[in-house]
Structure 1
Amino acid sequence: MIMINERSALVVDDHPLVARGIADFLRTHCEFARTDAICRVADLWMHIAQFGAPTLALIDFWLPEGTALSMLGRFRDDYPATRLLVISGDGDPMIRDKVRRLAADGFVLKHADPAVFALAVAAVLRGDAWFDDTSVAAPAANEARGLPLSHAELGLTPRQGEVLALMLKGLPNKRVAQQLSLTEQTVKEHVSGILERLGARSRVELIARLLGRRSDV
């Protein structure tokens, strides 16, 4: 059986900037001796075979292949000593509940304050669960208080405005496509257009910049 490394973390997220940013945060603020970022799910189990199971696995709920539920189940079965913390930009309470039922150790939103994120990591490492119900509800409350922005004010097309509104709610491309009856590729093209128009380098940067604002479409 593979032994657990001393205070190591593995971040699984298909967005390289997000994955590496979280890995750097864990190393510099949470006292991990080793942190690695995995952006291709196909590389995950090979990485563990080479370097051993991590102390903490921090996994994005939405991955290109779909949800991370099967991955979480395999982690729990094969590496029971690894603590599992799920992250997501999607604040749907059903996601948190599914993660909890699968016996993951915690769930935290990607746009949580860094101090809250550090508290979540510390909690699961000491054996506690972290399912902050108030943090899941926070985006809706912020959205209700936020100043409205129309697509015209932002220089976007009406359809781009609809996509942006769902992005600000934390929905991944797949769910945006489902809600707007579009293909996922079309949504990706709209997201690229939105990022270019608003001068953001990534989806994460855009959401952080507009956090608390709502798009009137």
Structure 2
Amino acid sequence: MTHILIADDHPIFREAMVNVVTASLPEPSLSEAASLDETLTQLAENEPDLLLLDLHMPGMEGLQGVANIRNAYPFLPLIIISAEEERHFILQAISYGAMGYIPKSMPRLEMQQAITQVMSGRVFIPTSVIGSTSNHASQPKAPNLQELCLTRKQQQVLERMILGESNKQIATRLHIAETTVKAHVSAVLRKLGVQSRVQAILLLTENSKA
């Protein structure tokens, strides 16, 4: 049974997310928290399969709370929920290790898509962000991955990057040094023609939907 923790300080929104999760997954086990302290307590008692996390509930301090949770639970799938819809903020949230971002104004069906996509091991970025990125003049064209000539290890690192994992997480997964991961990440970004991990995720997410 899939265990989902919904962390938000607004009871009405938690109830709404319960309905979204129930419609997204077969018979999920659900628990709720209304503050960062409550969230950390529940994580310590029973780490869930997915955390839906409000950025502005008590104790969070925005993305710093995300960083704290990510440091303590590096492999926990995490979707941020927020009323903030600015593109640069959403991209920053993904760079902090979130595997998905759900604006509170997002239609219910898209929320369900976000949950199922992250539960399948992929990063979810709102279509509004991908669309605005695609229309940006400096955005590189989505690459043909078969033509990038990545080594086997670079392919493995890229796969973990797409999942939103940090260099430390990738090093643990692949049993290699963190400095080696950094070298592979730099090589992958260079071959993709982008400057950051977030740009790489956006580029490859768009490519997968083409």
Give the TM-score taking structure 2 as reference length.
Answer: 0.56
How far is 1:116 from its partner?
0.6
Percent identical pairs in the alignment equals: 18
RMSD: 2.3
On the 8 A contact 1:26/1:32 being kept in 2, the answer is: no
Aligned residues: 132
Choose between structure 1 and 2: higher strand proportion: 1
- Checking the alignment, whether the CA contact within 8 Å between 2:7 and 2:54 is kept in structure 1 is yes
With over 3 angstroms needed to count, the CA separation of the structure-2 counterparts of 1:96 and 1:88, relative to structure 1, is same
| Correspondence for 1:84 among 78, 85, 89 | 78
How much has 1:66 moved relative to structure 2?
Answer: 5.2
Q: TM-score, normalised by structure 1?
A: 0.54
| Preserved CA contact (<8 Å) 1:27 1:34 | no
Q: Is the 8 A contact 1:55 1:81 kept in 2?
A: no
The answer on 1:103 being equivalent to 2:97 is: yes
Look up the match of 2:12. Answer: 17
Alignment check: 8 A CA contact 2:79 2:99 kept: yes
Aligned letter for 1:79? Y
Q: Select 2:122's aligned residue among 110, 125, 128.
A: 128
Map Cα deviations across residues 141-189 of structure 1 (whole Å, 9 max, x no partner). Answer: xxxxxxxxxxxxxxxxxxxxxxxxxxxxxxxxxxxxxxxxxxxxxxxxx
- Give the drift of 1:68: 3.5
Once the two structures are superposed, the pairs formed by residues 26-175 of structure 1 within 5 Å of their partners are 26-50=21-45, 52-65=46-59, 67-134=61-128
Does the CA-based 8 Å contact 1:59-1:68 persist in structure 2?
no
CA spacing shift, 1:62–1:48, aligned 2, 3 Å: same
CA shift digits 1:53-96 (9 cap, x unpaired): 11110111222345442332233222233211111112122320
Change (3 A) 1:131 1:10: same
> Is there any run of 5+ residues in structure 1 with no aligned partner, and where?
1-5, 139-217
